[in-house]
Amino acid sequence: MIYNLGELFCGPGGIAWGALHADIGNKDFGIVHQWANDYDKDTCETYRKNICPDRPDTVYHEDVRKLNMDKLAKINALAFGFPCNDFSVVGEQKGIDGVYGPLYSYGVKALKKFEPNWFLAENVGGLRNANDGTAFAKILKDFREAGYEITPHLYKFEEYGIPQARHRIIIVGIKKGLPEVFRVPSPKPYSDIDNTCKNAIENPPIAKDAPNNERTKQSDVVIERLKYIKPGQNAFTAEIPKHLQLNIAGAKISQIYKRLDPKKPAYTVTGSGGGGTHIYHWKENRALTNRERARLQTFEDTYEFVGSKESVRKQIGMAVPCKGAQIIFEAILKTFAHIKYDYVEASIKE
């Protein structure tokens, strides 16, 4: 079966790229774009440019709270990476009581309206602990009551060959009454992949005219500070002269001026943050370019992001790694095609 995918909170298209490139060797099973929605204008333009350039009108730039779902075409598959702001460990962690916390309910609304055969929902690992665990329990309960058997799992994408330590809860739901049972794909087939950040950024070399590859102008102080920081160290673990040290009270975030370790996957690519949070090259005294950050998220170099440099940084940091999403979508397609694949037990027990 070919699945028509609708997407809420679509971001720049990491999930969509993974869906559209999912290939299980059977042309009768695949996923195609039907429509998408996001509140951010640049993000929608990026999605249109790369995912559906021939159908730009199928991407709705609207606040999901005001989106009229009656105007959306029918779908039999749904994806939504609902906003993580209130569930992230970096932040106030208001959970379901925050501004963004309740937005998952629009995914539930879409499930009830369109009754797709399956859905994929994504959020940060901190979702499990928000509101002392009650938020996560409510979200899962609402997915079930919408009519779905669900499989929540904490995916550690670096275990799947992705060159980045990125841990995300992904919930796959299959419509109750269908005979198929989803299993979490095993990371074992990807254990031989070179997922070091050095390999991702350097092989092949990024073309000089690649889009979104402009460098950040570093101040003399930052350049001088980075000279004292070794690969894998940050501004608080390195031995830095007093005049270059950061005077920060309270929590010392480990990613401040943290250099990558070229022998390991990158640490988590984020979409926001002030000075010192841009991810720093292991050898050169500079922050990564957006193109290099996009490689850590497994976007191809031809994937062009629209917007200012900071807007692009945000888009890349908020995305799901393309090839990580592809692995999960292929497992979903194999489930419905009744093709066996290696799997592991879901890590989240209820």
Q: Residue 154 pairs with which residues in a beta bridge?
A: 169
Q: Which two tokens stand for residue 43?
A: 């993000």
Distance CA 209, CA 192 (A): 31
- Give the relative orientation of helices 104-114 and 134-145 as an angle to the nearest 10 degrees: 10
Distance CA 20, CA 329 (A): 9
Distance CA 77, CA 118 (A): 5
Are the CB atoms for 108 and 150 separated by under 8 Å?
no
CA 7 to chain centre: 14
Distance CA 142, CA 76 (A): 19
Is 44 among the catalytic positions? no
The tally of CA atoms less than 13 A away on the side-chain side of residue 197 is 27
Catalytic residue, from 10, 44, 52, 84: name it: 84
Q: Residues 223, 228, 230, CA angle at the centre, nearest 5°?
A: 110
Which positions are catalytic? 84
